[in-house]
């Protein structure tokens, strides 16, 4: 490890805030890289060179100070990272007055070095985790062996089946979402350890991507297990009144390159649900529950075809001034095309529901009791109500 100027200055500031002594920190060459006296930065200190080369404490009184270059009275002592000396910390003053403070100063300096090194490892881990996530979800031109090697160094198992999930934060009550909120969310997703691979996808869009491990059964994954985990996450963030979390879960695709497809399915789920939901509460959406709205969402780029899909709803809307027929149609599909269940849900007589459904058939020229025609009507309804055409 090489002692940096920023760490050296942190040692100086920390020690001088606790002790009323001037402090200098030297690198392995005896050059001052941190000091309570900024004018001494980059000066060479022969006493520090002697302390580092002999790996021992060197006391300098007035007589010795006059014989050495760039030296003032004080005590210089090596500081270590592990078993290796990485620099020198010097306390200015009469050696007899400051000798008792040397062990404390040395301990503070070495603790700061250990913390800085630990933080650098955490930052390295974070950068490479995020890079790994971006490579996996982009899916363009990556080398599987290379990503596997990175994952192993991060102690991550890419053989574990995973789905891509996007979590987006929405501000509540006029609050702003900051990077601190996203960092907090990442912490909650990673602690306690649950084998999530997490990255902040975009601070401006307030999006976090999670590659979540899933349990497979006959090539499908357990939605019930994920619901338990989602509810647990919501319970941990519900105390924060500044934002709501929307979770969009993609589907499972096998192998490492399947994660890019899983991400696309999560992204599509977000796109069809993002504008149709409120920002006041936590929500979750599964890709396999939104396949028809997603299909319709992407149909909007094929205008000649999407116009045909939309036409029955538009005809109905012109004739249905009070919206009674559209409400009946929504309820009918919500009740799985069961007329009796529709009657119960709307608290209306069967004849009324039957009349309204027949009226819908007349206006749209589609027989709602025919499967293909009913699917067309459902797609037209979803195109307007669910897919944000």
Scanning the chain, the segments in alpha helix (DSSP H) are 5-18, 46-54, 62-65, 95-98, 102-138, 144-153, 179-190, 223-237, 258-273, 291-299, 303-319, 324-334, 339-346, 350-364, 371-385
**2: Cβ contacts below 8 Å, ≥ 6 apart:** 27, 86
Rounded Cα distance, 90 and 24, in Å: 5
Q: Is the pLDDT of residue 383 over 90?
A: no
Label residue 142 by pLDDT band (50, 70, 90).
low
The residue extents of the domains of the chain are 5-119, 160-289, 296-385
pLDDT tens digits, 164-188 = 999 999 988 888 889 999 999 999 9
Q: What CATH code is assigned to 296-385? A: 1.10.10.2840
- Rounded mean pLDDT of 257-264? 93
pLDDT for residue 278: 62
Cα dihedral 323, 328, 329, 330, rounded to 10, equals: 90
Q: Is the pLDDT of residue 40 over 60?
A: yes
pLDDT tens digits, 358-376 = 999 999 999 999 998 999 9
pLDDT tens digits, 272-281 = 887 665 666 8
Rounded Cα distance, 343 and 149, in Å: 60
Torsions phi, psi for 168 (to 5 deg) = -120, 135
Rounded Cα distance, 362 and 48, in Å: 96
CB contact at 8 A, 294 and 301: no
**Of 299, 359, 302, 372, the residue nearest 329 (C-alpha):** 359
Q: What CATH code is assigned to 160-289? A: 3.30.70.270
pLDDT tens digits, 297-351 = 777 777 777 788 889 999 999 999 999 999 999 999 999 999 999 999 999 999 9
Average pLDDT, the chain: 90
Percent of the chain exceeding pLDDT 90 equals 66
Enter the pTM of the model: 0.72
In CATH terms, 5-119 corresponds, of 3.40.50.410, 1.10.3720.10, 3.30.450.40, 3.40.50.1820, to: 3.30.450.40
- Tokens representing 17 are 């805030």
pLDDT for residue 280: 67
The backbone region for 155, taken as left when phi is positive above 0, alpha when psi lies in -120 to 50, beta otherwise, is left
pLDDT tens digits, 80-134 = 999 999 999 999 999 999 999 999 999 999 999 999 999 988 888 889 999 999 9
Rounded Cα distance, 264 and 246, in Å: 17
Distances (CA, A) of 187 to 11, 155, 182, 229: 28, 18, 9, 15
Domains 5-119 and 160-289 share a fold: no
CB contact at 8 A, 294 and 272: yes
pLDDT for residue 239: 73
pLDDT tens digits, 211-251 = 999 988 877 888 888 899 999 999 888 777 788 899 999 99
Rounded Cα distance, 293 and 384, in Å: 10
Label residue 387 by pLDDT band (50, 70, 90).
very low
């Amino acid at each position: 490890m090489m002692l940096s100027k920023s760490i050296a200055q942190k040692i100086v500031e920390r020690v001088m805030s606790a002790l009323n002594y001037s402090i200098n920190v030297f690198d392995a060459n005896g050059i001052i890289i941190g000091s309570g006296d900024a004018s001494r930065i980059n000066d060479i200190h022969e006493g520090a060179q002697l302390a580092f080369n002999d790996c021992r404490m060197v006391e300098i009184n007035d007589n010795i100070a006059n014989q050495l270059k760039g030296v003032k009275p004080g005590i210089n002592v090596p500081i270590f990272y592990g078993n290796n000396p990485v620099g020198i910390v010097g306390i200015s003053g009469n050696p007899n007055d400051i000798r008792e403070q040397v062990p404390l100063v040395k301990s503070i300096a070495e603790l700061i070095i250990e913390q800085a090194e630990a933080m650098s490892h955490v930052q390295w881990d974070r950068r490479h985790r995020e890079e790994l996530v971006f490579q996996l979800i982009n899916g363009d031109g990556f080398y599987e062996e290379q990503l596997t090697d990175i994952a192993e160094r991060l102690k991550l198992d890419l053989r574990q089946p995973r789905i891509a999930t996007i979590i987006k934060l929405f501000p509540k009550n006029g609050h702003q979402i900051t990077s601190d909120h996203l960092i907090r969310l990442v912490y909650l997703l990673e602690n306690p350890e649950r084998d999530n691979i997490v990255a902040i996808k975009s601070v401006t869009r307030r999006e976090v991507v999670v590659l979540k491990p899933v349990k497979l059964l006959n090539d499908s994954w357990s939605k019930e297990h994920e619901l338990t985990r989602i509810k647990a996450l919501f319970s941990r963030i519900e105390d924060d009144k500044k934002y709501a979390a929307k979770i969009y879960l993609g589907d499972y695709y096998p192998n490492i390159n399947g994660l890019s497809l899983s991400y696309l399915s999560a992204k599509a789920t977000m796109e069809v649900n993002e504008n149709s939901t409120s920002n006041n509460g936590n929500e979750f959406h599964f890709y396999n529950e939104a396949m028809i709205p997603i299909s319709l969402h992407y149909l909007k780029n094929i205008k000649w075809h999407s116009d045909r899909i939309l036409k029955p709803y538009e005809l109905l809307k012109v004739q249905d001034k009070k919206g009674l027929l559209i409400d009946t149609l929504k309820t009918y599909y919500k009740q799985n095309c069961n007329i009796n269940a529709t009657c119960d849900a709307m608290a209306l007589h069967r004849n009324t529901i039957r009349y309204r459904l027949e009226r819908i058939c007349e206006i749209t020229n589609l027989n709602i009791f025919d499967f293909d025609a009913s699917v067309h009507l459902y797609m037209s309804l979803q195109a307007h109500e669910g897919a944000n055409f």
